[in-house]
Amino acid sequence: MALNKEIITKLIDECFQAKQFAYNRYSNFSVGAAVLADGGTVFRGCNIECASYSGTICAERSAICGAVNRGCRRITAVAICGDVKAGDVCAPCGICRQLLAEFAAPVSDGKRDMEVIMARSDRSYVVEKLSDLLPRSLDFVDAVLDASFRRTT
């Protein structure tokens, strides 16, 4: 699905709505995310903090969990916003980048990728390809196929 200004604006609106529900009693840093499923459905998520830090979940992963729980397996775009100072954007952390790569939709040449829309507080934004933010993502299937190929040659 090609991202036009209307879709980008909708995703940014959705991530700002999700940010309102952040549970951030330890950091006081709210983040919202909206993922666009391959079929056009949007799923929202917010960050949820926990006293046991490893139990904390980022907004992007929260949105992905919601999508997967409803049968989605391919994501074409994600929009993210956070409590950053004016002019800055909130980029996905490394764990979120890897999980986004896991569900990225196929693009030309058999590879998978997605658009990452990082919104500023004034709703202006930066768009980057996930493959640029995470150039060497882990792909278990590719790793297994590569290892299998090496054993037979």
Q: How many CB atoms lie under 10 A from the CB of residue 14?
A: 22
Helices first, then strands: H and E counts in the chain: 5, 7
Of 6, 14, 49, 60, which residue is the catalytic one? 60
Q: Kindly state the helix (H) or strand (E) to which residue 105 belongs, with its residue range.
A: strand 105-106
Contact at 8 Å (CB) between 72 and 53? no
Q: Which of 61, 87, 82 is nearest to 16 (CA)?
A: 82
Element (H, E) at 35: strand 31-37
Catalytic residue list contains 6 = no
Q: Which residues are catalytic?
A: 60
